[in-house]
Amino acid sequence: MADQVRIFQLARKLGLRSEALLQVLGDLGVEDVSAASSIDIETARAAAELLAEQAKEARRRADEQAAREAAAAEEAAAEEAAKAAAAAAEAAPAAEAAEPVEAPAEEVTTGDEAATEEVKEAEEEQVERWVPAWAAPESLRSLEEQLAELEFEEEEGEELYLELPEEARRPSGDRPEHAIDVPPVVSVLGHVDHGKTTLLDALRETDVVATEAGGITQHIGASEVQTGGNTIVFVDTPGHAAFTAMRARGGQVADIVVLVVAADDGVMPQTAEAIGHAQAADVPIIVAINKTDMPGADPDRVKQQLLEHELVAEDYGGDTIMVPVSALRKENLDSLLEMILLLAEVRELWADPEADFAGVVVEAARDDSRGPVATVLVRNGEIKVGDMVICGAAYGRVRRLNDWHGKSVKSMGPGHPVEVIGLSEPPQAGEVMTRVKGVKVAREIVGQREEERRAAGLAGSGRASLKDLYRELGELAVKDLNLVVKADVSGSVQVMESQLRALDLQLEEVEIVIVHSGVGDVNESDVLLAYASDAIILGFHVGVTEAAVRTAEAEHVEIRTYDVIYEALADIQNAMVGMLDPIYEERTVGHGRVLQIFRISRIGVIAGTVITDGYAQRGTKMVVMRDGDVAFEGTVDSLKHFNDEARRVDAPNECGISTPDFRGWEEGDEIAFVAEVEVPRTTPFDSAG
């Protein structure tokens, strides 16, 4: 690692945005890297040199431009002075000579100058982009020197936001002056028995302060680990069911996922599931390759297996950080923590302590002695004992707050977990807690929420359903068809996946996204994932667990099970066709013959017409034919059936047609009515389903 440097760190060092550096690296042929990727020092140097060249060039052009402008300004000023002198001389005979006219320079803008203006702007933009502070001649230091002392000055990270309700989202936009940095929140996921719990316990024990203070008296559902002056918050409940449950309720809290994979066991079904969940939530993954102390441990095999899931280790040329550890022997945990902090640094994590309080529930339960207890991660603002808070259908006055050691505190600020006691009922993980004025307001809001929930339940919900997809021809703005695929054996999963991919290739306008696939019955975790990503679940030769059925009903998630693969594919094809934008075509929808002309002074000329077939409609096009020639082409502006304004008149009725654009009607004129009609999309698939 010593001769490697991470892109965002280098960018920061050079006073550049990561994107600008990535672009330069692209010019150098370095592709498939992100801001968190490492590059070797040679490449870094090459990039820096290219940048320096570009910067120099941009500066040279800027200087030239400045010189040109100065010369032009001088010339213009001289011209103006001459003009003014001439004007003054002309005006001289008049007794009161006018004051010298001061013609502002802007007034003499010619086309040429507008063009130079454009060039100037473009160049300025380039200078801004390419000339970082260090490229100023006075501060141009040797790059080696700078690369040698990589230390971070200013934060410049990408924003990777999650689908959170506004108030619980990581704040974005301009960082207020009083904003504070907050620790990253980490969720530990992985296959059962791969060591998630052991790892969490071991990490907590690295916190010397906690251990010295007599350990943790009581688990509150999240913990803070101090490392080298930095803090990391771990959500205690390991496992992707909890992770996805939170995300499903909109309260995704994790900034980073640590994926635990046992080195002696490798990638297992739940590992794959966990990856799917993290990827669906757009949360970056760090892989902890655990149990490296085991005799059968093979970290390389794990890395290879992970390639299939688009997690490419750095030593394989990718940018996923993978750290070999032993949770049991507490080996290399420091590295893991360090990498978490490193990844956290790329993302600017800050919060506004002065904002209104908002927190996300990490875990909640009913405690025999204390009543409903919720562990909340404070996102913004501050929660205090005595506050009236609401959270989903729960509300109450905060009676007591405990920090993560279980110690009673008066208040808690952003970035930290806190145990809240005093709620009317335990809220659900992922729900957002906010403060309200008083109990009346709290009851009102909670009542309203319940009402909305009931109404939503009655009306069904906005969840994806194949039937809706068929029906809502063209009305869908989103053209992703998200799927969770489950099958009895991995062979079937592969067949389904490859068939779906083949379908996907046949139709450009709709993209099939397999959010997750796996072997086994459709379970609750699948349903939650489908709920969170608005996906439909396809089961092939599998059952559906009872919990999954219940949750799917409650959350309106569609589960479709099939025994024959082509039936599943036919359904998907239909759904895809249903998602296509409709095609409109101009078609002749009817004909008419003019029987009589009425000239009414106030209204104009009305053609009394009999519709001979089809229909005439207001607003559509009409073509008037006379003796085989087109006499007029225009719009049916007014359509009357007897004395009433009509929208549409069908054959064999009579009607009055008029338009201010045409007065030359004659008896016997033939009219063709042309309308835009929606044409049903034919299946674009090779084998119609």
Is-catalytic flag, 194? no
DSSP 96: S
- Residue placing its CB nearer to ligand GDP in the complex, 288 or 496: 288
Residue 43 vs 198, nearer CB to ligand GDP: 198
Per-residue binding string, ligand GDP, 493-522, x by CB under 6 A, is ------------------------------
Half-sphere exposure (Cβ direction) of 504: Cα atoms closer than 13 Å: 15
H helix intervals, 92-130: 111-130
- Set 56, 116, 181, 197: catalytic member: 197
Closer by beta carbon to ligand GDP, 190 or else 578: 190
Which listed range, 192-200, 277-285, 452-460, 531-539, lies at the site for ligand GDP (CB under 6 A)? 192-200
Instruction: Rule CB under 6 A: say whether 204 interacts with ligand GDP.
Output: no
* Helix, strand or coil, per DSSP, at residue 562: strand
Per the residue annotation, which of 181, 193, 403, 521 is the catalytic one? 193
Would you state the torsion angle of the CA atoms of residues 578, 583, 586, 591, taken in this order, to the nearest 10 degrees?
0
Asked if 326 interacts with ligand GDP (CB under 6 A), we say yes
Site stretch for ligand GDP (CB under 6 A), options 124-132, 189-197, 476-484, 626-634 = 189-197
Catalytic-residue membership of 196:
yes
Considering the rule CB under 6 A, would residue 195 count as an interface residue with ligand GDP? Answer: yes
Among 181, 193, 338, 348, binds ligand GDP (CB under 6 A): 193
- Is-catalytic flag, 193? yes
Pairing of strands 629-635, 559-562: unpaired
Among 6, 12, 194, 591, binds ligand GDP (CB under 6 A): 194
Cβ proximity to ligand GDP: between 189 and 537 the closer is: 189
* Helix and strand numbers, DSSP H then E, in the chain: 17, 33
Q: Residues 169, 170, 196, 277: which binds ligand GDP (CB under 6 A)?
A: 196
- Comparing CB distances to ligand GDP, the nearer of 7 and 260 is 260
Q: Which stretch binds ligand GDP (CB under 6 A): 36-44, 193-201, 280-288, 419-427?
A: 193-201
We find the least distance from the C-beta atom of residue 339 to ligand GDP, in angstroms, to be: 17
Locate 386 and state its tokens.
């005595």
- The question of whether 197 is a catalytic residue gets the answer yes
DSSP 410-457: SEE-TT-EEEEE--SS---TTPEEEEES-HHHHHHHHHHHHHHHHHHH
Nearest Cα residue to 6 out of 46, 45, 38, 54: 38
Q: By CB under 6 A, what part of segment 140-169 binds ligand GDP?
A: none
Binding-residue pattern over the window 259 to 298 for ligand GDP, x denoting contact by CB under 6 A = -------------------------------xx-xx----
Q: How many angstroms separate the CA atoms of 349 and 416, rounded?
A: 13
For ligand GDP, which is the closer residue by CB, 324 or 539?
A: 324
Which amino acid belongs to residue 424?
S
SS (H, E, C) 163-188: CCCHHHCCCCCCCCCCCEECCCEEEE
User: Rule CB under 6 A: is residue 430 a binding residue for ligand GDP?
Assistant: no
d(CA 247, CA 162): 9
State how far the Cα of 496 lies from the Cα of 667, in Å rounded to an integer: 65
> By CB under 6 A, which span of 139-147, 191-199, 347-355, 446-454 interacts with ligand GDP?
191-199
Nearer to ligand GDP, 195 or 392 (CB): 195
Q: Is 357 helix (H, G, I), strand (E, B) or coil?
A: coil
Spatial CB neighbours of 297, under 8 Å, sequence gap ≥ 6: 263, 264, 291
Residue nearest to ligand GDP (CB): 195
Task: Say how many C-beta atoms besides its own lie within 10 A of residue 247's C-beta.
Answer: 29
Distance CA 214, CA 260 (A): 28
Which of 52, 185, 275, 327 touches ligand GDP by CB under 6 A?
Answer: 327
- List 13, 191, 194, 196, catalytic entry: 196
Give the residue with the Cβ less far from ligand GDP, 296 or 457.
296
Q: Please select the residue that binds ligand GDP; options are 180, 328, 549, 605, rule is CB under 6 A.
A: 328
d(CA 275, CA 272): 5
Candidates 184, 238, 318, 422; binder of ligand GDP (CB under 6 A) is 238
Report how far Cα 110 is from the mean position of its chain's Cα atoms: 45
Q: Which is nearer to ligand GDP, 271 or 402 (CB)?
A: 271
Is residue 197 near ligand GDP by the rule CB under 6 A?
A: yes
**Interacting span for ligand GDP (CB under 6 A) from 126-134, 145-153, 326-334, 673-681:** 326-334
Q: How far is the CB of 201 from ligand GDP (least distance, A)?
A: 8
Percent helix, strand and coil across the chain, each rounded to 5? 35, 30, 35
Q: Which of 603, 589, 664 is nearest to 638 (CA)?
A: 603
| Six-digit token string for 147 | 């690369």
Residues at the contact surface with ligand GDP, assessed by CB under 6 A: 190, 192-198, 238, 290-291, 293-294, 326-328
- Positions annotated as catalytic residues are 193, 196-197, 240
